[in-house]
Every structure is written in structure tokens, then in C-alpha cells.
Structure 1
Amino acid sequence: MKKALLLGESWTTHMIHQKGFDSFTTTEYVEGGQEFTAALESDGWQVTHLPAHTIETRFPSSAAELADHDLVVISDVGANTFLLSRAVFGRSASEPNKLEQIRDYVLAGGGLLMVGGYLSFSGIDAKARYAASPLGDILPVEMLETDDRAEHPEGAPVTVQAPDHGALGGVGSDWPALLGYNRTRARAGAEVLARVKDDPLVAVATAGRGRTGVFTSDMSPHWAPPPFMEWSGYGPLWRALAGWVAGD
């Protein structure tokens, strides 16, 4: 059985409701990625989801435990979540660098897939901060060091450049438009399989003995609108991309 570790894809929203003189607050916790998880599990994958707030305590504690996974997926959670635990930030204690552990896992033969979002790649206000991280040199794209979001409420068309590549699952060249993505630049030697506007959407590469891939838009709303989430190619695309990056 193939195993994937999904990191991120969760958020807490704290709202202030102002009604004249009075106000009150509500808080909502949401986990995304269910459709992505279902797509992989339908093909025999075992997916372990670590929501963003659990990465600190539940991230694999050893190289062997991390290597037990065929694929690591980082989606919509910034580098600081991996680097600044309560021990480091609050007590100035040292501990292993989780992003270095992921890099070493890939170089030793693992697979890493980064999926877009407001806290992927560079992210909103450049807060995701992956460009200068240990993952910056192994992904198939070069990341910006400024806010990299490209918002397209009108819908950004997708151009498939390599429809026959195994990482695209034979879903053809007619993809639904997306509402936004993270802007990146293709790295020399990488394969750009699909573009959104003129920027990489799907790209893959090798790194050491492993493989890396990116999908620079969301796996879930809001950048992935209903036509994309309901598209017949949604499941086959993710299964193929995950399988290729994992070394199939």
C-alpha cells in the first residue's frame, strides 16, 4: 500500500460581528483536502493528514518514520509552522529542522509535492517563505520572495503542454479555469507539464534519488472553483501526479 503524508490544509477563522453598539465573536475550524484524500484513497493509497496545528507535535520523529511514506504533500501551510515550535519560539530550545528532514528524505529517494495556496511557495505578503528554506532548491520551480499570488476572479485558462506525460493521468488538454495561483518560475532541467496564464501550474523534476512536483493552485476552493472540483479529471490528475512524484 502506498502511503502519503498530507501536511497543512486546515485553518481557524476568528470573526468579530459588530451590530451597532454591541459585538460578539465566533470561531470556526475547517479542514480541507477531503477531495484530494478521497482521490488517492480510491486508488489504494493510505493518506495521513496532519492539520497545520498538529505539525509541531505529530510530524514524524525520525528519518525512518518519515521514509515510511512514499509521498509528502505540503499544502497551504507556511515554512514558519515547521521551523517555529513552542520549544524554539517560546523557550529558545534547539530541535531538528523539519524542512531539512523533508529535503533529506527526498534526496534519499522520497517524493515531495507542494500544492498552492495563500501559505504555499511565497504566499500572501511573502509569509510562506519557502524560497530561502531547505526546500527552495529541490522543487521544480524557483519561488519569488514577494507576494506571489495571482488572483483571477474572471478565471485563468490552463494550457497543457505535455498531455501524454504519465504525471497527468491522460486527462486531456481541456481543463476548467482556475481563480488564482502562486506565481513561480520554471527551474532549469524541470518539466513544465501545464501552465496557467504564462506561469507553471504543474511541473516535475528529480532531486537526488527522489522526485518533486508542484501544482501551483489550490486542491480545494477558493482558487479551485466548483467546475474544477467536479471535473472528471480531478481524481485521475491527482492520482497520476502523486504516483509519479512517489516514483511510480
Structure 2
Amino acid sequence: MKPILLAGETFFVTSTVAKGYDVGSSASLANGATRFIAALASLGINVSQIGGERCEAEFPRTVEALQAFSAVVLSDVGALSLLLTPETRQGLAGINRLDVLRQWVHAGGGLMMAGGYTSFQGMDGMARFHDTPLEDCLPVECLPYPDGLEAPEGLNPEIVDNGHPILSGLPSQWPSILGMNKVIARVEPDGQVLVTSRYRGHDHPLLAVRDYGQGRTLAWTTDIGPHWLSQAFLNWDGYDAIITRMVRWVGRDL
């Protein structure tokens, strides 16, 4: 299997310390994908990560460049980080990388979008994937307004179709999650919901899949790491299997 391209999951943390009149500040770069990368590595899948702050300059710009990867995973990286290029900053017309991704999937590529504050439409509506070419190929539709759902009390994943290759043979009971992005499921055969979570009387898609042209797409509407994935989920034996199967399915290795 060729490497997986992971875009996103990095963020800068800044802090200010005041001791009387003496004030100091510091900043550090954090990576929310360490558990995800370790899970795939343990089963022989290499991950090439481009942090959100590097996407403008480094994310692939052509279908041909994307062919180097079995699958692309977008996680906690907004549409603007992919749409803007160095040329755009200078006021020059160029390429739309969201449409390049859609074309790549249609030609046989595999795309997974994972949830987070800057996934789908985003906690404050700042991810902005609604009404983009990329949304056209997803197994779900993005809301046109902020979609983040915080659930500190925990949400229980409910299996809808345990016969799908991603879920076949896996436990039917999963640890709870602590939040997710609310999305709209596409009607079959365009999309298929495999797992839901119920909140205030409504079942929200947690895991959905779709065949798009010659390719495949997958939506996992909660985190691949903390905080929406609880520590119980991250420490659960089933985490590695579920994450790996999702990636292998979109990459046609399952």
C-alpha cells in the first residue's frame, strides 16, 4: 500500500504568563494526530503529514501528484488552507485544490474527512466546506452554518450496518465520544451511513461511506484524537482496527 497523506491536525499553542509587572509569552506547535499515525504505523501503513500551516505551500496541486498516495485524510484543516496558494496571495488566478481533490477521487482516489473544529463546516462555521467541489464527493452534506456539537456527557456510537467490510467482525459496543460535527447523510445509493450517534432524539452520522466515480470517500465526523475522542476510545483495543480499516477501505486495500 502506498503512503497515506494526512493534511491538518497541527496547531500553535500560545500562552502568556504575568508575574506582577513582568509579562512573558511563549508558543509551541502541537500535533493532534500522534495516536492516529501510531495506529497506522503499527500495521505497516506509512503516513506523510502536512500540517495546516504548511498546506498553502505544500499540499499537492495536481491529480498526478496525488497519485503518489493510497488515500488522503483531511482532519481539522479548513477549506481556506487548501484553497489559498502563494499565487492567490499575490492576486494571481490559479488552481482550485478542492476541485483537484474531487477529480482525483472521481478517477479512483480515496478521500477521508475526519471531524474537528475546522472540519466539514466547523465549530464556528470557519471550516467552510459547504458549497465547495469537495463537498460534492463526500458521503455527507455539510451544514451552511456552524456544525460543532460538544457532548461532555458522552455520545454512544450505534452500529447501523455491521456487515460492511470496515465493521465486519468488530465489537458492537464502542466507547463513547465527546463531540462531533453535525452533517446531513446523503440518500442511498449515493451514500451509506454505517454508524450513528443519538443526541436529543436525532441520529447523527458518525461514519458514512460513498462510492464516487471510480473512487471512494468516507466521513468520520468525530476526532481521530483528543478531545472529541475520549481517552477510553483512544485506549480501546478497537481503535487501531477501526482507524486502519477506514483508511484501507478508501485506499481499496480492504
Per the TM superposition, whether the score is higher than 0.5 is yes
Unmatched runs of 5 consecutive residues or more in structure 1:
none
Unaligned runs of 5+ in 2: none
Segment drifting more, 177-186 vs 32-41: 32-41
Report SS of the residue matched to 2:72.
Answer: strand
Task: Write the distance in 2 (CA, Å) between the matches of 1:22 and 1:123.
Answer: 37
Q: Secondary structure at the match of 1:168?
A: coil
Task: Provide the residue aligned with 1:68 in structure 2.
Answer: 68
Give 3-state SS (helix, strand or coil) of 1:103's partner: helix
User: 1:30-82 CA deviation, whole Å, 9 max, x = no partner?
Assistant: 11212211222222222111111111222224322211211000000100001
Summarize deviations over 1:92-128 as a string: whole Å, max 9, x none.
0222111111111000000000000000001021000
Give % identity. Answer: 39
Moved more, 212-221 or 167-176: 167-176
Q: 1:96 — aligned with what?
A: 95
The 5 A counterparts of 1:17-166 are: 17-89=17-89, 91-166=90-165
Following TM superposition, by how much is the alpha carbon of 1:86 offset from its aligned partner in structure 2, in angstroms? 3.8
| Pick aligned residue for 1:203 from 205, 208, 218 | 208
Rounded to whole Å, the distance in 2 between the matches of 1:19 and 1:149 is: 36
The CA distance in 2 between the partners of 1:244 and 1:160, in whole Å, is 17
Within the candidate set 241, 244, 247, 2:246 is matched to: 241
| Structure 1 match to 2:193 | 192
Q: Which residue does the alignment assign to 2:229?
A: 224
- Runs (4+) of structure 1 exceeding 6 A deviation are none
| Secondary structure, aligned partner of 2:87 | helix
After superposition, the C-alpha distances for 1:133-163 in whole angstroms (9 at most, x for unaligned) are 1111110111101110110011111111112
- Alignment check: 8 A CA contact 1:126 1:147 kept: yes
Read off the aligned partner of 2:9 and give its amino acid letter.
Answer: E
- Number of positions where the alignment pairs a residue of Structure 1 with one of Structure 2: 247
Paired residue secondary structure (1:56): helix
Q: Using the alignment, how far apart are the partners of 2:146 and 2:20 within structure 1?
A: 36
Q: CA deviation at 1:20?
A: 4.5
- 8 Å Cα contact 2:61/2:95 also seen in 1: no
Taking the aligned partners of 2:185 and 2:40, their CA distance within structure 1 comes to: 26
The root-mean-square deviation of aligned C-alpha atoms, in Å, is: 1.4
Partners of 2:117 and 2:124 within 8 A in 1: no
Q: Which moved more, 1:21-30 or 1:226-235?
A: 21-30
Pairwise CA distance, 1:171: 2.0
8 A contact 2:59–2:82 mirrored in 1: no
**1:225 partner letter:** S
Secondary structure of the equivalent of 1:173? coil
Post-superposition offset of 1:21: 4.2
Give how far 1:18 is off: 3.9
User: If the length of structure 2 is used for normalisation, what is the TM-score?
Assistant: 0.93
Contact 1:156 1:179 in 2 (8 A): yes
Residue identity matched to 1:194? V
The one-letter amino acid paired with 2:142 is: M
Tell me how far apart the structure 2 counterparts of residues 82 and 60 of structure 1 sit (CA, whole Å). 9
Give, in angstroms, the shift of residue 191 of structure 1: 1.1
One-letter identity of the residue aligned with 2:53: H
Q: Secondary structure at the match of 1:38?
A: helix
Say whether the 8 Å CA contact 2:73–2:113 is kept in structure 1: yes
